[in-house]
């Protein structure tokens, strides 16, 4: 039985070209890998406090389509209010009707 073995000679340029080609194909397939996300993430800022008063926190949302979920401890409910002309959400003790 006569068997032929095929051999492929890999040159240094082929070795370098294959990863470059593979990387280019990945970027074409997944263009998000090549882009830097410009999405603005909501952030929490600390509001300075006076001595003996714990600090307050402010959630800064720059896009109106962002959703905010509020979780209050058991027995409390979220309440939307204005505090010093600023929209605020606080957890207030639950009051039954």
Q: Place 23 in a pLDDT band, splitting at 50, 70 and 90.
A: low
Query: Measured between alpha carbons, how far is 25 from 32 in angstroms, rounded to an integer?
Result: 13
Give the total number of structural domains in the chain. 1
The single residue listed with the structure tokens 């410009």 is: 38
Q: Could you tell me the residue range of the domain that residue 70 belongs to?
A: 43-93
Check pLDDT > 60 for residue 28: no
Residue 78: inside a domain: yes
> What is the structure's pLDDT at 33?
44
pLDDT tens across 34-66, in order?
A: 445 556 677 778 877 777 777 777 777 777 777
pLDDT tens across 64-85, in order?
A: 777 777 788 888 888 888 777 7
Residue 69 C-alpha from the chain's centroid:
15
Residue 87: inside a domain: yes
C-beta contacts of 66-71 below 8 A and 24+ residues apart = 66/42, 68/42
Give me 15's structure tokens. Answer: 């070795």
> What is the structure's pLDDT at 22?
58
Residue 23: inside a domain: no
Contact 42, 66 (CB under 8 A): yes
Residue 58: inside a domain: yes
């Amino acid at each position: 039985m006569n068997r032929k073995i095929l051999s492929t000679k890999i040159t240094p340029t082929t070795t370098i070209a294959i990863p470059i080609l593979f990387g280019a194909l990945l970027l074409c397939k997944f263009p998000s890998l090549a882009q830097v996300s410009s999405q603005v993430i909501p952030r929490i800022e600390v509001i300075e406090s006076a001595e003996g008063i714990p600090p307050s926190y402010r959630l800064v949302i720059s896009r109106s389509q962002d959703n905010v979920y509020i979780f209050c401890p058991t027995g409390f409910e979220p309440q939307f209010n204005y505090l010093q002309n600023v929209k605020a959400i606080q957890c207030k003790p639950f009051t039954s009707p």
